[in-house]
Structure 1
Amino acid sequence: MTPDFIVRPARSSDARPLAELRWTFKQEDHEGRPPAPARPLEEAEQWIRARLGDGRWLAWVVETGGSVCGHVFLCPVERMPDPYRDNTPIGYVTNFYVTPSQRNKGAGSALLEALKEHSRTAGFDTLIVWPSERSSPLWQRSGFRPPDELLELSR
């Protein structure tokens, strides 16, 4: 069966729908009735447009019926040169979201496959993600594993 969606690299012209989905995604984090957003949507739209436009961030979208219904973002993190090891970048993966109507149809897995394929081709050493409890099984099915070593300083 052919999926009724396509996955493609995001463009800076996708900034508005990506910002809208970001706000929807974060509002889903709130139980019951979410509070009104404290920040304007246009701020997120400008942030996304700038970073996709200059390549500081990469993203992939899933579309169905010509509308963006999911996304995943990747921020390349440079590593210091090392005289003994390759200094290929690592990738910080975030903002993985698929609208409820498109969940459990393969869209999320397809987004992660596009992300992983790009990372392999571009020579990323490691991808790092902080998954939600709900998304952790999908990340693990996609090959992500807990690290042996990681330290974190939370504020």
Structure 2
Amino acid sequence: MTIRRAGAPDVPALAEMRHEWTVEWSDGETVDDPDYRARFAAWFAAEPGRLWWVAQDGPATVGMLNMVVFTRMPRPGRPVSRWGYIANVFVRPKYRDAGAGRELLDAAIAYARDEDFARLVLSPSERSVPFYRRAGFGPADNLLRWEG
């Protein structure tokens, strides 16, 4: 398994995994959306503050993770700091429970440490909570949420 930063050449594989994620979470229901891949590519290009990692088994892309990076507003007497929001973690079923997800998460955490991020946050599915807890994530009791 190889973990690496992803970029524009990976867009087709990322779009395909996002499609697989959607089908899996909708209990196998497929959606006919002929413009999806073009919309995904345009969205990817418009998200320069989002970092991507992929897991590869040989030439096959088998997992993905992205992180949105936020730069905090400067404060007098303090250096500018950043934080990250981890999103859209997906590993193809055949590769689950074999370390790919943890390696993707470890790569994002290492980046955040190297860049001296103030924090990393995420919004886990109920099923993924144990996975993130094992990696050291805990409740974010100091956040509020608005749902419009």
Relative to the length of structure 2, the TM-score reads: 0.91
Q: 1:40 aligns with which of 25, 36, 43?
A: 36
Q: Is 1:22 aligned to 2:18, yes or no? A: yes
Shift of 1:58: 0.6
What CA distance in whole angstroms lies between the structure 2 residues aligned with 1:152 and 1:38? Answer: 34
Relative to the length of structure 1, the TM-score reads: 0.87
Q: 2:7 aligns with which of 11, 32, 38?
A: 11
What CA distance in whole angstroms lies between the structure 2 residues aligned with 1:19 and 1:103? Answer: 19
What CA distance in whole angstroms lies between the structure 2 residues aligned with 1:61 and 1:71? Answer: 4
Match of 2:58 in 1: 65
Partner AA of 2:138 in structure 1 = R
Partner AA of 1:103 in structure 2 = R
SS at 1:42's partner residue? helix
Change beyond 3 A, Cα 1:57–1:144: same
1:74-98, CA deviations, whole angstroms, 9 ceiling, x for partnerless residues? 1111111123654311111101000
Identify unmatched segments of 5+ residues in structure 1: none
What CA distance in whole angstroms lies between the structure 1 residues aligned with 2:44 and 2:52? Answer: 10
Change beyond 3 A, Cα 1:112–1:45: same
What CA distance in whole angstroms lies between the structure 2 residues aligned with 1:145 and 1:103? Answer: 22
Number of corresponding residues: 148
Identify unmatched segments of 5+ residues in structure 2: none
